[in-house]
Amino acid sequence: MESLEQNLGTVTKLIDLAMEFAVKYGFQILGALAFFAFGFLVANWIGNRVEKFAVSKNIDPTLSQFIGSTSKLVLITLLVIITLGNFGISIAPLIALAGAVSLGATLALQGPMSNFGAGIAIILTRPFVVGNVITVLGVHGIVEKVTLGMTFLTGEDGEQIAIPNKEIVGQVIVNSHDTRILELEFSIAQDADVDGLLPEIETILKNHPDISDDPSPQVGLHDFTFGGLVIGFRAWIPGRTYFQVRYQVNKQILELLKAKNIALFTPEGMAMPVRTRGSSGVQTAGVVPPPRNNP
């Protein structure tokens, strides 16, 4: 009996303490939680508004998202500090603990953290943005997305290429924006009709629907080689169809050379004839024999 009375007395004391705590601190706790919930919604709204404002000012979407997320994170951090203060919790030990945890996490996750640091550098310096055609580390593609850890490219064949950001920072980046330059050259015989050939190559480039006219294609006498001339041309085409346009242009120029009976030259100066088929069979035109060394 006495044991039962003691247990009841203990339970009664606990209930009294709980009631006293609820009366004394209940409204303070509810107020702090309500403040945190309301502040979280406000921080989220402000972050979204900042991101939309940045987009409306024609800032890169990746950078706009980073600015909005950073604003939201700063506001939520301030909100947590204020809420803990409302509970009467000192934040000084928490800051020290957070610093120690951050140091340990940095050492343990040095690789991923370096990717994040490189991602922030890319987002802030903006060597390229979403939609640009870039070449880096021998990889070519269109920038589809830039995250803190990875940069995602899409190749011409539709394959997705993911590059860690730490591999990009410090490398030579060729940014063609939304186009890529087509730059080729070939050698012909020195007695070929250059004045008649160059305008026709320029016409081929200008008539191609995927080749830009601003800047306009460039065709000219690029260089000289032993026994021949080097013709070069440059044109700007969409990055998504680079190889498709390149193969089409090469084929049209080869057909033009065949029609004009102009021979190609190898780098060693040996004639590489362009063969045409006429009524009498296969004919070779414009071939210059290789030089001979006199004894």
CATH topology for 13-108 is Helix Hairpins (1.10.287)
Overall size of the chain counted in residues:
295
pLDDT at 284: 38
Residue 259 predicted with pLDDT over 60: yes
pLDDT at 268: 56
Q: What is the pTM of this model?
A: 0.50
Average pLDDT over every residue of 49-75: 79
pLDDT at 31: 72
Rounded Cα distance, 245 and 200, in Å: 17
Q: Which residue has the tokens 């250059």?
A: 194
Nearest to 151 by CA among 160, 236, 213: 160
Mean pLDDT computed over every residue of the chain? 77
Average pLDDT over every residue of 215-231: 88
Q: How many CB atoms lie within 10 A of CB 158?
A: 7
pLDDT at 250: 92
Rounded Cα distance, 63 and 51, in Å: 9
**4-18, 163-177, 252-266: range with lowest mean pLDDT:** 4-18
Contact between 244 and 207 under an 8 Å Cβ cutoff? The reply is no
Question: 221 - beta bridge partners?
Answer: 231
Q: Answer whether the bond into residue 215 is a cis peptide, omega within 30°.
A: yes
Query: pLDDT tens, 11-42?
Result: 676 776 666 656 666 666 777 778 778 888 88
Domain boundaries, given as residue ranges, for the chain: 13-108, 129-175, 179-284
The CATH number of the domain covering residues in 179-284: 3.30.70.100
pLDDT at 280: 35
pLDDT at 26: 64
Query: What architecture (CATH level 2) is domain 129-175?
Result: Roll (2.30)
Query: pLDDT tens, 80-120?
Result: 777 776 666 666 666 666 666 666 655 544 566 778 788 88
pLDDT at 248: 93
For residue 6, give the 3-state DSSP assignment.
helix
Q: Which residue has the higher pLDDT, 280 or 40?
A: 40
